[in-house]
């Protein structure tokens, strides 16, 4: 997702009032070693918090960002009628690596642009684990919840740190990408790398990357939704807005590195590719929320994982596609709040 997508989420949000955006905070990890042995120098993880941590630190809920989003984008989804209630839980909104707030190609002084090493979803989660344990002193999370790439991180959390969280709520995420997903993300990566102004990431002005924005927009909804919502006569104005918005606030180098992180996703990799073995290590109670007509993150791996875990399942229906979270927000948010609050 990106900033222009946030409008669709927030416009359908059932929150009674917008919460103030908490101050951005930072956890310094030093030289952070990635799973492939490379190192992010002077690594910093950004985050915001809402609510109060109780005395025994048992009410913390981690909420990592979606693709292209920042922690400020998650604030409207937190509230008494949102996905998680901060009057009950201490909510940690964490900026994933590469989002422009946490360490990223766009803000690294020692490894700028494409000198910033490629990272994975597993690396994002390892950095978040260090933030929670080393900076916040939390030894157990009540839950991890995430949307889209945040849902991918949620699956990774459940497998990589099975005893660290009691509940997991991956929403329109996946434990492993399908070839269809990888074709989409590779198309966006190729469009970036083949842009005339890209220059290996060392551009003198931000490339427009209209093709990337158009590919991304194409996959957000189903064909039926786009046909219904955008008439042929309205298409020129629709396309103009897609191109005008471009990548939103996100730097093109950051976009590419987060694309590559998603393409690397496979929670079963440490288990010889066996999703059955990966699912078997999970100890958290799970509520898996796929969009059944998702054209951006194929729902089948999430559905299979839910079956392997005998997990609770909330299937989003209709033709909203990847943004089904906004079309069914009132019922979805209530279901997630109930799941988080249940003993």
CA distance 69 to 294: 19
Q: Which of 2, 1, 7, 12 is nearest to 318 (CA)?
A: 12
Residue 166 contacts by C-beta under 8 Å, 6 or more apart in sequence? 140, 141, 142, 143, 284, 285
Per residue in 121-151, pLDDT tens? 999 999 999 999 999 999 999 999 999 999 9
User: Residue 86 gets which letter from DSSP?
Assistant: T
The four Cα atoms 218, 224, 228, 229 give a dihedral, to 10 degrees, of -30
Per-residue pLDDT at 249: 64
CA distance 188 to 200: 15
Class of CATH domain 3-181+256-341: alpha beta
Per residue in 220-242, pLDDT tens? 999 999 999 999 999 999 999 99
Query: What's the Rg (C-alpha) of the chain?
Result: 19
Domain ranges, ordered by start, for the chain: 3-181+256-341
Residue 320 · residue 326 · CB < 8 Å: yes
pLDDT: which is higher, 100 or 343: 100
Per-residue pLDDT at 9: 45
**Whole-prediction pTM value?**
0.94
Per residue in 17-44, pLDDT tens? 456 899 999 999 999 999 999 999 999 9
CA distance 129 to 117: 20
């Amino acid at each position: 997702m990106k900033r222009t997508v946030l409008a669709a989420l927030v416009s359908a949000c059932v929150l009674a009032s917008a919460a103030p955006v908490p101050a951005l905070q930072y956890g310094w990890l030093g030289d952070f070693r990635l799973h492939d042995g490379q190192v992010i120098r002077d690594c910093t993880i950004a985050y915001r918090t809402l609510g109060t941590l109780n005395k025994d630190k048992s009410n913390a809920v981690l909420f990592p960002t979606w693709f292209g989003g920042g922690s400020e984008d998650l604030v409207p989804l937190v509230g008494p009628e949102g996905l998680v209630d901060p009057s009950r839980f201490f909510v940690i909104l964490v900026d994933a690596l590469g989002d422009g707030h946490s360490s990223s190609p766009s803000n690294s002084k020692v490894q700028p642009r494409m000198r910033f090493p490629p990272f994975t979803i597993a690396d994002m989660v390892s950095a978040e684990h260090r933030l929670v344990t080393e900076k916040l002193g939390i030894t157990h999370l009540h839950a991890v919840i995430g949307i889209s790439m945040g849902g991918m991180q949620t699956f990774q959390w459940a497998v990589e740190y099975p005893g660290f969280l009691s509940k997991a709520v991956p929403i329109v995420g996946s434990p492993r990408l399908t070839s269809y997903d990888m074709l989409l993300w590779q198309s966006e990566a190729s469009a970036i790398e083949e842009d005339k102004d890209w220059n290996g990431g060392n551009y003198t002005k931000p490339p427009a990357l209209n093709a990337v924005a158009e590919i991304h927009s194409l996959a957000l909804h189903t064909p039926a939704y786009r046909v219904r919502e955008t008439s042929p006569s309205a298409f020129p104005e629709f396309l103009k807005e897609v191109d005008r918005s471009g990548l939103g606030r996100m730097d093109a180098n950051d976009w590419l590195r987060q694309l590559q992180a998603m393409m690397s996703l496979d929670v079963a990799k440490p288990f010889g590719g066996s999703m059955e073995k990966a699912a078997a290590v999970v100890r958290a109670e799970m509520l898996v929320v796929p969009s059944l007509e998702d054209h951006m993150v194929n729902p089948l791996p999430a559905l299979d994982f839910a079956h392997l875990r005998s997990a609770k399942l909330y299937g989003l229906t209709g033709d909203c596609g990847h943004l089904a979270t906004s079309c069914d927000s009132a019922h979805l948010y209530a279901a997630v709040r109930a799941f988080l609050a249940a003993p």
